[in-house]
Structure 1
Amino acid sequence: MLPRGRPRALGAAALLLLLLVIVFYLFDGRLRGAAALDEDLPWDHNRSACFPLRSLLPKCELLHVAIVCAGYNSSRDVVTLVKSLLFYRKNPLHLHLVTDAIARNILDTLFHTWMVPAVAVSFYDADEFQAGVLILHLPSPKPQAASSCPPLPDKQVIGLVENQSDWYLGNLWKNHRPWPALGRGFNTGVILLRLDRLRQAGWEHVWMVTARRLLLTLSATSLADQDIFNAVIKEQPELVLLLPCVWNLQLSDHTRAEHCYSEASDLKVIHWNSPKKLRVKNKHVEFFRNLYLTFLEYDGNLLRRELFGCPSQPPPQAEELQRARAHLDEEDACFEFQHQRLTMPRVHLTFLPVELQLPRLYDVTLVAQLSMDRLQMLEALCGHWPGPMSLALYLTDAEAQQFLRFVEASPVLSARHNVAYHVVYREGPLYPVNHLRNVALAQALTSYVFLSDIDFLPVHSLYDYLRASMEQLELSSRPKVALVVPAFESLHYRLSFPASKAELLALLDAGSLYTFRYHVWPRGHAPTDYARWREAQAPYRVQWAADYEPYVVVPRDCPHYDSRFVGFGWNKVAHIVELDAQEYEFLVLPEAFAIHMPHAPSLDISRFRSNPAYRDCLQALKDEFHQDLSRRYGAAALKYLPALQQS
C-alpha cells in the first residue's frame, strides 16, 4: 500500500491532483504558466504553454483533491496536509480519499468531528485495487467531477513536474537500471489528472499492458506507480502536460530545486517523503522545516472557517449544534457547562499503530482517559497491566506531537503494541471527562472492559485474574453483571506496591494505604464493604447506594457515560446509577484491587471546591439527569431522587 506514501494535494476545476508523498501545501488560488521552465528540457517544452494561464479561479468553484492514504502513520501525517490545505484555500473542496480499512475508520471519524465548512469527503476502498500502484487505478472509482474544465489539449491528460533527481538518468551507481523515462523523467508526488479523458483513452488497459511487458525484463518496480507512469509517457509523450516546478518542489541534497523559485511566494507544493528530507543541503531548508512545524502543531479548530460569499450547507452535525447553541444565554451562570456539552471536539482514533490479537471470549480491555498532566503515569500503568488498553487523550495539536515524541522515546511505551491511543483535541473551558471515556469505550475490541482512571495502578495479576474470574462466573450467560474492583489509595509518591491481597492488608493495617477517599468522600466506595472484602474468599454481591462510584468490569456494550457531566463531579456516579437502573448485578471480587497514586489536583476539582456557582451548576445537571431517568425508567427512577437531592 505504498507505505512511504504521504498525501499532500492541490486541485483546480474538474481536475484532480493526487499526492502520494509528504509535501506541503502552499495554495493561493492561482495556476501559473510555464515560462520559468528550464531551457534544457529534452522534450518540447512549448507544450507547457497549453497549461491554463488563469489569473484567478472563480471564488466559489469547487476543487477536487484525491489522496491515497493507508495505515495508521499515513493517517496521522495526512492531517498536516489537510491543515495546510485548509489554511491557504479560498475555494470549496471535495476530498476523494482512497484508503484501506484502517485509514477509513480514522479519517471518517476525524472529518465527521472536524466539521469544516465547505469541505466534502468521499471514500474509496483501496483494497479493491492492486497494492503499490493505487494511483494508477484512480480513474476507476469515477469520483464526481466539477461542471467546468480548463481548455487543455485533447491528448494532454497527465500533468507532472520534471523529476529533480538523477534517478532516471541511470548513473547513480554501477549497474543502476531504472525503468524507461523521458529525459529526467517525472515525479508523481503531485499529479494533475484529467479523469474523463483517461477513461476514454482506456487508461486501465494502457498502463497494464506497458507494465506487464516491461516486467518481463525488469522484474519489479523500484518506485511503484512512478515507474509505470514514466514508462507509459516514454512511449506516448503526448499524454503529459509539463507543470511548472513550483507545483512539486522536491527537497533533496542536490541544488537543482533551488533553481525552481526566487521567492517563497512562488511555491505551491513542497515535497518530501522522508524525515531525512528535512535535513537536506538546500539553503532554505530551515524555512521549510519551520513551515512544516507550523502546520504540524497548528490548532485545527481555527480552520473551521466559513468561505464568505460561497453558499454551502454546513455538515448536519454542525448545523444541529449551531441551532442548539443559539438558545444558550451567555449571561447564564452555567453557560460554560451548557456550551461544553454542545461541543464536538475533533477525534483522531488510533493516533499510533496498534496490533491487537483476535479477542477471546473472556478478554478485557482497560479503558481510561487522561490529559497532558497525567502523561507520566502511562509507563507505570503499562507495567501493571499487560492486556489491551483503550485510552482517550485530551490534547492540543501541539501537545499531541509532544505525546508522540514521548512515546517514541520511551522504551516501555514504544514496546507496547496493544495500547490504542485516541486523541480528542481540546476545545472549550471544561474537561469533557465522560465524552473522553465514551471515545475510549467505543474503541475497545474485547467482550469486556475494565472502566478505570489513569491515576490507578491495578495489582500486577489483575488482568489474568479478571479473565479467570469471568470464565469461572460464566459471565457470557449473565450479560448484566458488573465486577467491582476495590479501590485503595496511597498518600506517598513512592510505594512498595503490594503483590497480593495479604500484602495490601498489611500495608492497610500499617497505615501506609487507605480505602479510597475515606477521608473526603467515603460514600463513593462504602457499599463495596471493605470489612467484608478483608475476609472474602469468593465474589459477593453488594447493593447500589447513593453516590456509589466503584471501578467495574462490564460488557463492552454497557451503557455509555452521560456526557452532560463535564469537569469534576458526579461523572462516574451517574454511570453507576444507569447500570443499576438497567438492573446490573454488582459483584465484588475478593482478590482484585487497584491503588490510586497521588498527584496534583486538577483545575476542575479546584473550581468545584472553591466556587459555589460551579457546585450549583453541577446540581442543575443532576436534576436534569434525574428527569431523563424518570422518562426512561418511570417509577423505578424514584429510588434515585433522594440521592440526587442530598449529595
Structure 2
Amino acid sequence: MLPRGRPRALGAAALLLLLLLLGFLLFGGDLGCERRKRGGRAGAPGCFPGPLMPRVPPDGRLRRAAALDGDPGAGPGDHNRSDCGPPPPRPSKCELLHVAIVCAGHNSSRDVITLVKSMLFYRKNPLHLHLVTDAVARNILEMLFHTWMVPAVRVSFYNADELKSQVSWIPNKHYSGLYGLMKLVLPSALPAELAHVIVLDTDVTFASDISELWALFAHFSDTQAIGLVENQSDWYLGNLWKNHRPWPALGRGFNTGVILLRLDRLRQAGWEQMWRLTARRELLTLPATSLADQDIFNAVIKEHPGLVQPLPCVWNVQLSDHTLAERCYSAASDLKVIHWNSPKKLQVKNKHVEFFRNFYLTFLEYDGNLLRRELFGCPSQPPPGAEQLQQALAQLDEEDPCFEFRQQQLTVHRVHVTFLPHEPPPPRPHDVTLVAQLSMDRLQMLEALCRHWPGPMSLALYLTDAEAQQFLRFIEASPVLAARQDVAYHVVYREGPLYPVNQLRNVALAQALTPYVFLSDIDFLPAYSLYDYLRASIEQLGLGSQRKAALVVPAFETLHYRFSFPHSKVELLALLDVGALYTFRYHEWPRGHAPTDYARWREAQAPYRVQWAADYEPYVVVPRDCPRYDPRFVGFGWNKVAHIVELDAQEYELLVLPEAFTIHLPHAPSLDISRFRSSPTYRDCLQALKDEFHQDLSRHHGAAALKYLPALQQPQSPARDG
C-alpha cells in the first residue's frame, strides 16, 4: 500500500509531463524560430506572425503541402499558422509610408479613389502616393487631390507614356494592356533615393491600417527584395482546363496585386536586366503573358527564389473566377486587403461575394470629405491653400446672419472631372460646347438634352459620393446616354447647405474643349437645329480675337410637362400665338429677358445688337476664355445677372440671333428658391453680396462701374422665380 501522498504526486508529475509534451508539439516551431533568431536569421522564410502563403524551404521549391491554409494535403509541419510570437513593430507614428499605383483612363481613376478612401480611413501615418498615370488619369487625379486637401498626403505623378517603350515589346493578353506591365519598371521609374514602396493594383480595398503591411518589411532577410502573397487559385498549376500552359512559377505562384518592394536591393541585383532576360527567354516558347506583370514576376522568382518573402494570405484575399481564397479567410481572424482580381469585378461568382461587395460599397459611397482629418502630433506640410483657407474661415463670425453664405463661398469642393469615359471632339474652328450644371433631381433631363444637342457638352453635377454611384448606374442603363462619348460629366461633391451654382458653372466651363461655349441651364432644351446654327453664325459674324461678342439665344418656356417641341421659328411663333409658349419668365420676372426685345425678334432676319439693362440674364454663346462666374453667389439669386454685368463691363457686344431659341421645361421649385421666397434674411444676405460685387467691380473697372449701381441697389422681389 502506497502512502497517501504518493498517488497525488505521481498524478501531478504525469500531468506536468503531458503538458510539456503538448507544449513541445504545439510550439516547437516557435522554438525553432527563436533558435534561428539567435543564429542571426530572424528574417528567414517561415519565421513570420500570422498565416503564411506559402512557406519557401531552403531549397527554393514550394512544397505541395504548403499551398493554401486549410489545404487537406498539408502536413502538420507545413500548415500556414502563426509561427513566431509577437507581431512586427509598426513604423513610428510619423514615418512617411510610400505607395505606388499604376493608373490609366477614366474607369481606373474611379477605382483609385475607392482604394485611397479605404487607405485613408484606417491609416495613422503620413502617406506619399506615387502615381504612374496616362494623361487622362493625371488630369483627373491632379484636380481631385488638389481639391480634396487631405492633410499628410503627398502625391507625385509619373508619366506612363514615357515608360511604354520599356514594356511595349512584350505581347500581353491581359485586359489591362501595356499598363498592366508597368510595375516591372518601377525600380527605375521611381526616385533613386526611394528604398521601400508598397505597390498596389487599383482594384484592391484595405480593411486595415496600411502601416501593418509596411511593418512586414522588417521580416525580409538580407537578400529578399519582393514581398508577395501566394496566388489563391490553381492557375499556375496548369490544371484549370485542357492544354492550359501557364508561365513558370514556384508551386501556385504569387499574386502581384499587393507587393512590398525593396527598391534599393532590386537595383543592386540588376532587376531590369534580370526580368528582361527571363521574359525574352520565356517568350521563345510562350506566345504572350496572360496575367501581365504577374507572369514575369513569377518566372523571375522561379529562377531566383531567394528574392521573395511570402506574405500572410490576409494581405491579398483574391476574389478571382477560380479563387480558393475561402481557405484563407475562413481560418483568418480578420482580413487586411480584398482584391477584386477578376475581369468581372463585383459580379464575380463567389458564395460570399455579398459580404465582400458590401464592404467595397462602404468605401465606394463613403463621404470623402470626412477623410480630411489631421494626423495629430505629426507635423507635415499643409495642402496648397489650406493655411489661407483656415485663416479666412477663422475670421468668420458665426453670429453673422449671413454666416452660411460666407462659409459656403470659402468651401473647397472635391472635384472629379470627366467622371465617365470621354472622347474629346476633333478640333473645329467654330465648334460650340453646351455648358450647364445640375443636381440629382434633374438627371431625367439628360436624355432629352442629348437628343436636342448633338454636339459636345460639359456638365457639372453636384452630388454626394453615394449619388455619384447612382448617377453612374443611371448612365450605364440608358442607351442614349451611354452612346454619347462627347458629353463630359464632372462631379463636384456636395458639401454645405447652399447650392454652389456658379462654382459648378465654372467647373463645367473650365473643362470645355471647344473655342466657344453655350452657357445654358439644365432645364432648357435647345432647338434641334441650334448646334449647327450657332457654328454657322459664329463663322458668318467673324467672331474671334478681333470682335468680342456674346450671342444671345432667346429663351421661352412652356407650362406643360408634355408638349410638341417646335422644329422651327415658324412653329415656335405659332405656339407662342396660341398661348402654348411664353417668353421666359414673362409672368414672374419679365425684366430678366426683356432687353432681348422679343417683338423685334419675331420679324428679325439678321442678328441685331441690344443694350445691357438692369437684371438682364440671357443665355449666351461666348468664347471659351470668357470671364468666369462670380463664385460668391451661392444658392438662388443674381448668379447669371452678375456674369452678364461682367461681360458688359468688359465691352462684349450683345447680339441676338434671329433663328435661335431654347425652351424651359417646368419643374418643382428648388430648395434655394423656396428659401429666397420665404426668408427676408436670405434676401438681405443676397443684397449684401450684390454690394460687395459692385465694390469689386469698381476696383476693376473704375468709373465705368457706376452705370451698374442703380441695378445693384434695387431690392429683389420674393416672387421672382428665374
TM over 0.5: yes
Q: Distance in 2 between matches of 1:142 and 1:129?
A: 11
| Correspondence for 2:187 | 139
- Asked whether the 8 Å contact 1:163–1:187 carries over to 2, the reply is yes
Q: Distance in 1 between matches of 2:291 and 2:323?
A: 22
Match for 1:271: what amino acid? Answer: H
Q: Distance in 2 between matches of 1:60 and 1:460?
A: 59
Structure 1 residue 629 displacement after superposition: 0.5
Structure 1 residue 637 displacement after superposition: 0.6
- Asked whether the 8 Å contact 2:319–2:341 carries over to 1, the reply is no
Deviations 1:206-263 (A, max 9, x none): 1111111221221211111111111111111111111111111111455631221347
Match for 1:606: what amino acid? Answer: S
Corresponding residue SS for 1:476: coil
Sort the Cα spacing of 1:265 and 1:552 in 2 relative to 1 into closer, same or farther, 3 A.
farther
Sort the Cα spacing of 1:360 and 1:433 in 2 relative to 1 into closer, same or farther, 3 A.
same
Q: Distance in 1 between matches of 2:349 and 2:541?
A: 65
Answer with 1 or 2: which has the greater Rg.
2
Deviations 1:379-414 (A, max 9, x none): 111110000000000000010000000000011111
Figure out how many residues of one structure are paired with residues of the other and give that number.
617
- Asked whether the 8 Å contact 1:62–1:146 carries over to 2, the reply is no
Kindly indicate whether residue 502 of structure 2 is the aligned counterpart of residue 434 of structure 1. Answer: yes
Match of 1:300 among 359, 368, 373: 368
- Asked whether the 8 Å contact 2:556–2:581 carries over to 1, the reply is yes
Q: Distance in 2 between matches of 1:80 and 1:51?
A: 34
Sort the Cα spacing of 1:264 and 1:382 in 2 relative to 1 into closer, same or farther, 3 A.
farther
- Asked whether the 8 Å contact 1:50–1:153 carries over to 2, the reply is no
Match of 1:260 among 306, 310, 328: 328
| Correspondence for 1:70 | 104
Q: Where do 1:560-579 residues align within 5 Å?
A: 560-579=628-647
Q: Distance in 2 between matches of 1:540 and 1:385?
A: 24
- Asked whether the 8 Å contact 1:481–1:554 carries over to 2, the reply is yes
Corresponding residue SS for 2:481: helix
Sort the Cα spacing of 1:123 and 1:479 in 2 relative to 1 into closer, same or farther, 3 A.
farther
- Asked whether the 8 Å contact 2:56–2:310 carries over to 1, the reply is no
Corresponding residue SS for 2:668: coil
Q: Distance in 1 between matches of 2:666 and 2:702?
A: 41
Sort the Cα spacing of 1:253 and 1:137 in 2 relative to 1 into closer, same or farther, 3 A.
closer
Where do 5+ consecutive residues of structure 2 fail to align? Answer: 1-46, 67-77, 165-177, 197-214, 716-722
- Asked whether the 8 Å contact 2:151–2:374 carries over to 1, the reply is yes
Deviations 1:541-594 (A, max 9, x none): 001111110000000000000000000000000000000000000100000000
217-226 or 581-590, which moves further after superposition?
217-226
| Correspondence for 1:43 | 62
Q: Distance in 2 between matches of 1:191 and 1:553?
A: 52
Match for 1:133: what amino acid? Answer: L
- Asked whether the 8 Å contact 2:53–2:229 carries over to 1, the reply is no
Structure 1 residue 281 displacement after superposition: 5.5
Kindly indicate whether residue 486 of structure 2 is the aligned counterpart of residue 418 of structure 1. Answer: yes
Q: Where do 1:94-493 residues align within 5 Å?
A: 94-130=128-164, 131=178, 132-143=180-191, 145=194, 150=218, 152-252=220-320, 256-262=324-330, 266-274=334-342, 276-280=344-348, 282-493=350-561
Structure 1 residue 183 displacement after superposition: 1.1
Structure 1 residue 199 displacement after superposition: 1.3
Q: Provide the aligned C-alpha RMSD in A.
A: 2.2
Match for 1:137: what amino acid? Answer: V
Q: Distance in 1 between matches of 2:420 and 2:448?
A: 19
Q: Percent identity?
A: 81
Kindly indicate whether residue 596 of structure 2 is the aligned counterpart of residue 580 of structure 1. Answer: no
Match for 1:645: what amino acid? Answer: Q
| Correspondence for 1:19 | none
Corresponding residue SS for 1:625: helix
| Correspondence for 1:80 | 114
Match of 1:499 among 564, 567, 585: 567
Sort the Cα spacing of 1:287 and 1:468 in 2 relative to 1 into closer, same or farther, 3 A.
same
| Correspondence for 1:536 | 604
Match for 1:322: what amino acid? Answer: Q
Q: Distance in 2 between matches of 1:141 and 1:49?
A: 36
Kindly indicate whether residue 82 of structure 2 is the aligned counterpart of residue 33 of structure 1. Answer: no
| Correspondence for 1:6 | none
Match for 2:49: what amino acid? Answer: G
Deviations 1:128-182 (A, max 9, x none): 1133411001111233637997363222101111111111111222221111111
Sort the Cα spacing of 1:546 and 1:525 in 2 relative to 1 into closer, same or farther, 3 A.
same
Deviations 1:470-526 (A, max 9, x none): 111111354411000000000110110000001100100101100000111111111
- Asked whether the 8 Å contact 1:51–1:243 carries over to 2, the reply is no
Q: Distance in 1 between matches of 2:449 and 2:182?
A: 41
Q: Distance in 2 between matches of 1:616 and 1:223?
A: 63
119-128 or 134-143, which moves further after superposition?
134-143
Q: Where do 1:597-612 residues align within 5 Å?
A: 597-612=665-680
- Asked whether the 8 Å contact 2:55–2:310 carries over to 1, the reply is no
Q: Distance in 1 between matches of 2:235 and 2:85?
A: 26
- Asked whether the 8 Å contact 1:479–1:555 carries over to 2, the reply is no
Kindly indicate whether residue 579 of structure 2 is the aligned counterpart of residue 511 of structure 1. Answer: yes
| Correspondence for 1:56 | 90
Match for 1:115: what amino acid? Answer: M
Match for 1:332: what amino acid? Answer: D
| TM-score, length basis structure 2 | 0.82
Sort the Cα spacing of 1:490 and 1:67 in 2 relative to 1 into closer, same or farther, 3 A.
same
Q: Distance in 2 between matches of 1:641 and 1:51?
A: 78
Structure 1 residue 313 displacement after superposition: 2.5
Q: Distance in 1 between matches of 2:614 and 2:697?
A: 15
- Asked whether the 8 Å contact 1:96–1:123 carries over to 2, the reply is yes
Where do 5+ consecutive residues of structure 1 fail to align? Answer: 1-30
- Asked whether the 8 Å contact 2:106–2:420 carries over to 1, the reply is yes
Q: Which runs of 4+ in 1 moved over 6 A?
A: 44-52, 146-149
Sort the Cα spacing of 1:40 and 1:241 in 2 relative to 1 into closer, same or farther, 3 A.
closer
Corresponding residue SS for 2:580: coil
- Asked whether the 8 Å contact 2:319–2:342 carries over to 1, the reply is no
560-569 or 245-254, which moves further after superposition?
245-254
Q: Distance in 2 between matches of 1:394 and 1:576?
A: 23
| Correspondence for 2:6 | none
